[in-house]
Amino acid sequence: MTKLTALSAVPPLTLALVAACASNPAPAPGAPSTAGATPGAAAAPAPPAGKLDTTPIADPVANVPPTCKSGTKPAATGLIDDFEDGNDKPAAAGGRSGSWWIAKAEHAVITLPKGPVKPSAGGPEGSKYAMHFVGKTENADTWGAAVGVNFLPSGFYDASKYAGVAFKIKSAKPNLDVRLKILDSNTHPEGGVCKDCFNAFGRELILGTEWKDVSLMWSELTQQSDWGNPRPPMIEPSKLHDMEWQMWPGNDFDVWIDDVHFLECQ
């Protein structure tokens, strides 16, 4: 598997050979093949802001009590990134100091970002910049490609004062299946716990061509059902490694992400 860092010092032609400090999005045995890619099409220009899709997420949730009985709101120190500074670092809030990164399987091709990971011009209404992730994955690999952000340069971040995560996301084509993953100490090898790692808590997202406002409490995140060891009842918010959006194999993808933040209870 190939992992790519988001550091500006890495030239474009070197990216495919650089091991990233991000999590390895390896799939489970029997899980959909998530690898590979052939050369992707040229990136489309930034689309207009468009409408916001408010359709509720219909995925099943974990069989645990809700994190917040009365719902959630953006946390006061919860901004992870709105990308308006145009760099590869998350917002300097809540003690976070990681970086954005991209990763890909052997045959996958990433068209954007080219070279250093940085936002592109575009985004929902009122936004000047957003993360634009474009490429193609191949069924020949065991996973596809991912864009994500580490909360710290290394180790685990204590997000226990927060109640979940939220972000805006859209796809250039309808019905694109993307998996949100949040690696914690039980699912990332650095935690020293997992025997079958990388089955992160997260959610499957079916994207449309309008911006989708996604808000998820910790209790709404689940592991994939057929693999991973251990399998705790829910994510460990006090020890989070990174947050990532994984593209499955065999797909052309053109995805936009913006306004990423932690939530707190109402």
Span 230-242, average pLDDT:
96
Instruction: Specify whether the CB–CB gap between 229 and 196 falls below 8 A.
Output: yes
What is the residue extent of each domain of the chain?
2-38+59-265
Q: What is the pLDDT of residue 225?
A: 87
Please state, for a pLDDT cut of 90, what percent of the chain lies above it: 74
- One-letter identity of residue 182: I
**In this structure, which CATH number among 2.60.120.430, 2.40.30.110, 2.40.50.140, 1.20.140.10 belongs to the domain 2-38+59-265?**
2.60.120.430
Rounded CA-CA distance 152/9 in Å is: 19
Angle at 98 between CA 113 and CA 206, to 5 degrees: 55
Distant-in-sequence, close-in-space partners of 48: CB < 8 Å, separation ≥ 6? none
- pLDDT tens, residue by residue, 48-89: 444 566 565 666 677 788 999 999 999 999 999 999 999 999
Element (H, E) at 253: strand 252-265
- pLDDT tens, residue by residue, 131-148: 999 999 999 999 999 999
Where are any strands of DSSP class E within 14-98? 52-53, 72-81
Q: Given pLDDT bands bounded at 50, 70 and 90, which one contains residue 266?
A: very high
Bond from prior residue into 113 cis (ω within 30 degrees of 0): yes
User: What is the value of pTM for the model shown?
Assistant: 0.80
Rounded CA-CA distance 61/220 in Å is: 5
